[in-house]
């Protein structure tokens, strides 16, 4: 039986940008070095803007659901009239959970700290816990159960781990920091203003914190629905 998480030659895939727009293309070649050749796709007549060194998510489908894996653009090639990009797999494909499908376009204060091994077991469920120097202060572009997206001028690298304190509003509109560890899964620089769009996936999230995030996402989703601005879906 073939592993569902293996990307196959000839199958249809999606290249997913930082705004979660899915550009459909197909795997044209696979090498033993882990490189995948796909045609540079377009959406609404506009080609996907991708540069050598950029990272991007690649999505593909199985009977059990949608899988996503991070890729890096390592080279471009023109064959006939078609432009192709060689992609290097930078992570292990993971199946997207249904509850992760809701991304809320809300702005929350986030403070970023250095990650230390084993720190997860020492973090409180809620409340500030770090006396370290703050690396970065940003606001979220969106948040889901699985992670956050931010825009920042700080340099982040794919695969790096950080401690985040995400400030959530409670029922009384008071801000409580939720300390979570997160891994950088996407860091693509805007070539206009040098601001990076960074996607971080929560790392080793406890059940208590998953429940807090689920409740927050659900409540915010209901607010957006009432405002007739429903949350976008992956």
Q: What is the model's pLDDT at position 45?
A: 78
Domains in the chain, CATH or no CATH each: 12-95 (2.40.10.220), 98-233 (2.40.10.220)
Whether the per-residue pLDDT at 95 is higher than 50: the answer is yes
Percent of the chain with pLDDT over 70: 85
Q: What is the model's pLDDT at position 64?
A: 74
Between CA 233 and CA 215 the distance in angstroms is: 17
Whether the per-residue pLDDT at 193 is higher than 70: the answer is no
Between CA 102 and CA 146 the distance in angstroms is: 9
Between CA 122 and CA 131 the distance in angstroms is: 13
Please state the separation of Cα 86 from the chain's center in Å: 21
Q: Residue 23 in contact with residue 15, Cβ under 8 Å? A: yes
User: Over the Cα atoms of the chain, what is R_g?
Assistant: 19
Q: Residue 50 in contact with residue 23, Cβ under 8 Å? A: no
Please state the separation of Cα 125 from the chain's center in Å: 23
Whether the per-residue pLDDT at 107 is higher than 70: the answer is yes
Average pLDDT over residues 66-88: 92
pLDDT band for position 226 (50/70/90)? low
Average pLDDT over residues 175-182: 90
Name which of 165, 164, 166, 156 is nearest 182 in CA terms.
164
Average pLDDT over residues 181-198: 76
Average pLDDT over residues 56-77: 88
pLDDT band for position 108 (50/70/90)? very high
Highest mean predicted confidence (pLDDT) among 3-12, 68-77, 127-136, 188-197 = 68-77
Whether the per-residue pLDDT at 1 is higher than 80: the answer is no
Whether the per-residue pLDDT at 136 is higher than 90: the answer is yes
Average pLDDT over residues 151-173: 86
pTM: 0.56
Which residues are CB-neighbours of 68 under 8 A, at least 6 positions away? 16, 57, 58, 59, 93, 94, 96
Q: What angle do CA 95, 12, 67 make, to 5 degrees?
A: 5
Whether the per-residue pLDDT at 79 is higher than 60: the answer is yes
Between CA 213 and CA 182 the distance in angstroms is: 14
């Amino acid at each position: 039986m073939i592993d569902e998480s293996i990307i196959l030659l000839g199958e249809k895939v999606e290249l997913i940008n930082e705004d979660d727009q899915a550009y459909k293309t197909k795997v044209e070649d696979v090498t033993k070095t882990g490189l995948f050749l796909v045609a540079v796709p377009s959406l609404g007549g506009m080609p996907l803007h991708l540069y050598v060194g950029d990272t991007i998510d690649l999505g593909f489908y199985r009977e059990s659901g949608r899988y996503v894996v991070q890729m890096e653009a390592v080279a471009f090639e023109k064959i006939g009239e078609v432009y192709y990009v060689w992609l290097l797999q930078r992570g292990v494909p993971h199946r997207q959970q249904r509850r992760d499908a809701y991304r809320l376009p809300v702005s929350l204060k986030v403070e970023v700290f250095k990650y230390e091994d084993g720190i997860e077991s020492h973090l409180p469920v809620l409340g500030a816990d770090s006396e370290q120097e703050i690396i970065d202060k940003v606001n979220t572009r969106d948040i889901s159960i699985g992670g956050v997206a931010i825009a920042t001028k700080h340099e982040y690298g794919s695969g790096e781990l950080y401690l985040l304190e995400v400030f959530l509003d409670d029922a009384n509109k008071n801000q409580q920091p939720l300390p979570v560890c997160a891994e950088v899964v996407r860091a693509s620089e805007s070539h206009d203003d040098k601001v990076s769009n960074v996607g971080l996936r929560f790392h080793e999230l406890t059940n208590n914190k998953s429940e807090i995030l689920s409740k927050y996402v659900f409540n915010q989703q209901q607010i957006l629905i009432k405002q007739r601005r429903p949350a976008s879906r992956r």
